[in-house]
Homo-oligomer: A and B are copies of this chain.
């Protein structure tokens, strides 16, 4: 049995939810692991990020977002609107701000990411994909995205890839 863990960084540098296509990195990690049959789990430890498998949609918006991904954001805009001020959601409350500012040295506005916490837990933190004959079963069109729903600040994020099998 082989267990192979790799982690790599992506850089979220826009003030907008970002979709990082990590398909090539995942495929390379599988190839290097030597695993021919098993599973790969792509995972986010960040509670404002998600993993999603989605089709290539070719067209992009003026700011470079693929149409199908912008459609997803538009849907979320309706059910979980972007958090723009305190009081819009319950979180962040005064104790959380005290902790974030006082203990972690963060700016208070960085905690206005309640929308990202809710969107990402609804999407889920991981995807597990079968590996058959050395390849992830993604079909012709499947692409793996690491979604960073948190748009309040620029920062690096960690993508975890766990390959298990033989």
Interface residues, chain A, with chain B CB atoms under 8 Å away: 1, 3, 5, 37-39, 41, 43, 45-47, 52-55, 57-59, 61, 67-68, 70-72, 74-75, 78-80, 89-96, 98-99, 114, 117-118, 121-130, 132, 137-139, 141-142, 160, 162, 164-166
Known: A57-B93, A75-B79, A114-B68. A164 touches B39 (CB 8 A): yes
Q: Report how far A72 CA is from B91 CA in the complex, Å.
A: 10
Residue pair B38, A47 in contact (C-beta under 8 Å): no
Q: Which of B53, B68, B99, B114 contacts A91 (CB 8 A)?
A: B68
Decide if the interface of chain A is mainly helix, strand, loop or mixed. Answer: mixed
User: Is the beta-carbon distance between A59 and B137 smaller than 8 angstroms?
Assistant: no
One complex includes copies of this chain to the number of: 3
The answer to whether B118 touches A91 (Cβ under 8 A) is: no
Q: With A55-B47, A75-B79 as given contacts, are A5 and B132 in contact (CB-CB < 8 Å)?
A: yes
Could you show 16 A-B contacts with beta carbons less than 8 Å apart?
A3-B165, A3-B166, A39-B41, A41-B130, A45-B137, A45-B139, A47-B142, A52-B121, A53-B125, A57-B91, A59-B91, A67-B89, A68-B90, A75-B80, A125-B127, A126-B129
Give the complex CA separation of A79 and B124 in angstroms. Answer: 18
Contact at A90–B126, with CB atoms within 8 Å? no
- Answer whether A122 and B125 are a contact pair too, CB < 8 Å, given A3-B165, A57-B92, A68-B91: no
